[in-house]
Homo-oligomer: A and B are copies of this chain.
């Protein structure tokens, strides 16, 4: 295979300062030991579209709807009633974490394999809308011997169910919010794992994204990409490393081809808009409207 020339690299990225910054980073990283070439991408809103609803939330709504058809009493629970009626204001009032953990109870006692199968089944029916420019960047990083991982504020095992197929990322490189398991035995005395509805460690948004990447991966990324205030600390952490680094913020400013909105993060609030943080700290901003020739 012949190497692409700079002119043919990242074809869905329009010529300009952002694409130049990506190419300059790729060149600078070529001098680093392979062990240091680690890149982490947030998933929702960075690799795939998170509107009108987070894909993982839509999956949980789908699961709740099907279970409620079998057991209507589920609809009486406050968190579930808000979800079933699509009352986003009520969900926000209850808190997305509380609602998500209530929904996690739908899978309590199940095996990791059953959960992965249900996630894959859902995504087979409702495929995620992945950003082509980001896929090109991932492919190019991997071609340059980067370890490319995914970070998510949502559940780890959900993203793992699709990360290999969608992004070529193996399950051990997905860092998200872990739902704890219970070790149990089946009727033959053989070990099985059963999902609980409790978070193991730190829910993965904001500062915990930094703690969890180090804890699970054991290295600091030199490239971090995100789109919301929940990614702020992770991008700062990557940018503060020695040697070449890249903090990349996806700006949703394209109402025509995608959505135009200020990304707030699922569970963190921040007084400063993330695009203002990016400008203040000198991050590289990928404007969907300006920098992407193709979105999907």
B171-A217 in contact (CB<8A): yes
B211-A180 in contact (CB<8A): yes
Binary interface profile of A, 208-233, with partner B (CB < 8 Å = 1, else 0)? 10110011111110000000000001
B156-A191 in contact (CB<8A): no
Q: CB-CB < 8 A to A25: which residues of B?
A: none
Closest to A182 in B: B211
A164-196 contacts to B, CB under 8 A, are 164, 170-174, 178, 180-183, 190-193
Q: CB-CB < 8 A to A171: which residues of B?
A: 217-219
Closest to A240 in B: B190
A178 to B217, CA, bound (A): 11
A35 to B163, CA, bound (A): 12
A216-B216 in contact (CB<8A): yes
* A127 close to chain B: CB less than 8 A: no
A236 to B182, CA, bound (A): 15
* A263 close to chain B: CB less than 8 A: no
Instruction: With both chains docked as a complex, state the minimum distance between the C-beta of A121 and any C-beta of chain B, in angstroms.
Output: 18
A183-B233 in contact (CB<8A): yes
Q: CB-CB < 8 A to A219: which residues of B?
A: 171-172
The count of residues in chain A whose C-beta lies closer than 8 Å to any C-beta of chain B is: 40
A214 to B171, CA, bound (A): 10
A112, A157, A181, A192 — which one has the most chain B CB atoms within 10 A of its CB? A181
A112 to B215, CA, bound (A): 10
A23-68 contacts to B, CB under 8 A, are 35
A156-B201 in contact (CB<8A): no
Q: CB-CB < 8 A to A112: which residues of B?
A: 214, 218, 220
Closest to A172 in B: B217
B193-A210 in contact (CB<8A): yes
Q: Contacts A35-B164, A240-B191; is A211 near B157 (CB within 8 Å)?
A: no
Closest to A181 in B: B211
17 contacts between A and B (CB under 8 A): A35-B164, A112-B218, A147-B172, A156-B218, A160-B218, A172-B172, A172-B219, A180-B201, A180-B215, A181-B215, A183-B211, A191-B210, A191-B233, A191-B237, A192-B240, A200-B202, A216-B216
